[in-house]
Amino acid sequence: MIRRLFSVLALLALISLSACSEQSVQPAAAQLSQISGQIVMPLEGTILSVYKKGTDLYGPAFASSVATGPDGRFSLSLPDGEYIAVARKRVTGDTTGPVLAGDNRSEFINLVVHGDQLEMTILAPIKIGDSRRLTEDAAATRTGLSGQILNSDGDPVEGARVHVYDHVQMSERPKYVSEKTTPDGRYQIWLPKGGTYYLAARDKFGGPPKLGDLYGRYDQGTIEPSAVVVEDGEVLSEVNITVTKVW
């Protein structure tokens, strides 16, 4: 009887230890922090998209708010971490696709979430049209370029623009100019059609590069700029350009 009782107690102890072991490997629920605020200009119909730092800011967002109401308020819960946020409102009402002239978009905002409730006011101005930049017709062609602008140390350059030319001399005004690069140095530009293009990147807009400006051309180790050939309906990715200071 004593031996049988000992066996039962030992079995119960093993079951108890097994249950504790299984419970200990379950991941703890991530702590969520609340971010909220108001998006102005416009107030209504704007979506705040949040990306994990280091991911593609033109791709699917890590989290998105619902479209703001008449008061422009938004609210979103996020796990602790580093993010980049951007507010967008497209005239078409679409939630994806390029931001065109007449749409609204904020700057890219660095966001650190760490257990606190954040209150933000975000300005999302109207994108002004420019015949050298993206147009609705160009975006509809689904023809374009994307990549990253880097400095001589290989670090991403924020706030630079890619200039697109159709002549190797690159002496005339650029045919198309991208929006500013994101904090991870990435750009995306739509073109009205396929063709042979030549690219330069710089941190200042307009006029020839000056001393202290960041400037670089797309090349593949040659003295002359390298041509980029794009087919109709093709988006070339990882067309990267290195910029250095002009001396």
Q: Coil, strand, or helix at residue 13?
A: helix
Q: Is the pLDDT of residue 221 over 50?
A: yes
Q: What is the rounded average pLDDT of the residues 141-148?
A: 89
Same fold, 32-123 and 136-245: yes
Q: Residue 17 has what pLDDT?
A: 34
pLDDT digits (tens, 9 = 90+) for 176-186: 888 889 999 99
CATH of region 136-245, choose from 3.10.150.10, 3.30.110.60, 2.60.40.1120, 3.40.50.800:
2.60.40.1120
Of 6-10, 32-36, 169-173, minimum mean pLDDT range: 6-10
Whats the size of the chain, residue-wise? 247
Confidence of residue 135 (pLDDT cuts 50, 70, 90): very low
Q: Look up residue 164 and give its two tokens.
A: 């697109």
Closest CA to 192 of 123, 145, 128: 145
Q: Residue 136 has what pLDDT?
A: 46
Q: What is the rounded average pLDDT of the residues 74-81?
A: 92
Taking the model in full, what pTM does it have? 0.60
CATH architecture of 32-123: Sandwich (2.60)
The alpha carbon of 101 is separated from its chain's Cα centroid by a whole number of angstroms, namely: 19
176-177/214-217 β-pairing: unpaired
CB 135 within 8 A of CB 141: no
Q: Residue 2 has what pLDDT?
A: 43
**Which distant-in-sequence residues (6+ apart) come within 8 Å of 236 by Cβ?**
144, 145, 146, 147, 228, 230
If one compares 129 and 147, the residue with the highest pLDDT of the two is 147
Of 18-27, 79-88, 92-101, 164-173, minimum mean pLDDT range: 18-27
Sequence spans of domains, the chain: 32-123, 136-245
Q: What is the rounded average pLDDT of the residues 47-75?
A: 91
